Structure 1
Amino acid sequence: MSVNVKPLADRVLVEPAAAEEKTVGGIIIPDTAKEKPKKGKIIAVGNGKADEPMTVKVGDEVLYGQYSGTEIKIEGNDYLIMRESDIFAIVG
C-alpha cells in the first residue's frame, strides 16, 4: 500500500497487523478485549539522521513495544508513526 506521507529523520510509518479475532479454541474476542498488535509492516521511512542511517526499509515486518508510536489515520486507515528506536526487531 502506498501513502502520500514521508516521515522525517528517524521516524517510520507502520501499518499494524490485524488484532486476533478468535482464540485458539475458537472463542470470538470482542473489540473491547482485543490486544493491540505489537507487530506491523513498514509503509514509509524517513531519511535517518546524519550519524544514524536507517536500518529498516519499506515492506519489513517489525515488532515494537505495546505503547510505541502515535496513532494516526490516513485516508481512513489506521497507522502508527514512531522512531526507529521504538522498533525491537525485524521479523523474517
Structure 2
Amino acid sequence: MAGQAFKNFLPLFDRVLAEKSAAKTVTKEGIMFPKQSQGKVLQATVVAVGSGSKEKGGEIQPAGVKVGDKVLLPEYGGTKVVLDDKDYFLFRDGDILGKYVD
C-alpha cells in the first residue's frame, strides 16, 4: 500500500506519514458543495510509520497507529511532504487525535 515513493522515505522515531482524504464535494443526494463551503480535510490514511519514541529507560514505545489505519488529524499542524508529485503530511504520533475502527 505504501507504493514506490516510500522506498526512499521512512519517517523517524514517532513520526507518522499520512495522505489526507479528498474533500467531499457531493452529498449522497447528489447536491454539490461550493468550494467556499467545503471544510478542512481532517481524515487521512496512514502510509508510513516510524519505529517509535524512546522512553526514559531506553525502551522503544511503538506508534499507536499502523500503515492503512484511517485517522483523525488536528485542524492545524503537520509538515507537508511531496513525494512523486503527491502531497502527504508528517505528524507526531501523539498529535493524531484518533483512529477510525471498522
Normalising by structure 1, we get a TM-score of 0.85
- Runs of 5+ unmatched residues, structure 1: none
1:59 counterpart letter in structure 2: G
Other structure's SS at 1:8 match: coil
Q: Which has the larger displacement, 69-78 or 28-37?
A: 28-37
Give RMSD over aligned pairs.
1.7
Question: How far apart in 1 are the matches of 2:73 and 2:11?
Answer: 17
Give the structure 1 partner of residue 24 of structure 2. Answer: 20
Relative distance call for 1:49 and 1:66 in structure 2 (3 A) is: same
Normalising by structure 2, we get a TM-score of 0.77
Residue by residue over 1:15-35, the C-alpha shift from the partner in whole angstroms, topping out at 9 and shown as x without a partner, is: 101111124664433445432
Question: How far apart in 2 are the matches of 1:59 and 1:24?
Answer: 25
Give the structure 1 partner of residue 12 of structure 2. Answer: 8
Question: How far apart in 2 are the matches of 1:28 and 1:77?
Answer: 25
Report matched runs for 1:62-77 at 5 Å: 62-77=71-86
- Runs of 5+ unmatched residues, structure 2: 56-60
Q: Among the aligned pairs, what percent are the same residue?
A: 38
Q: Which has the larger radius of gyration?
A: 2
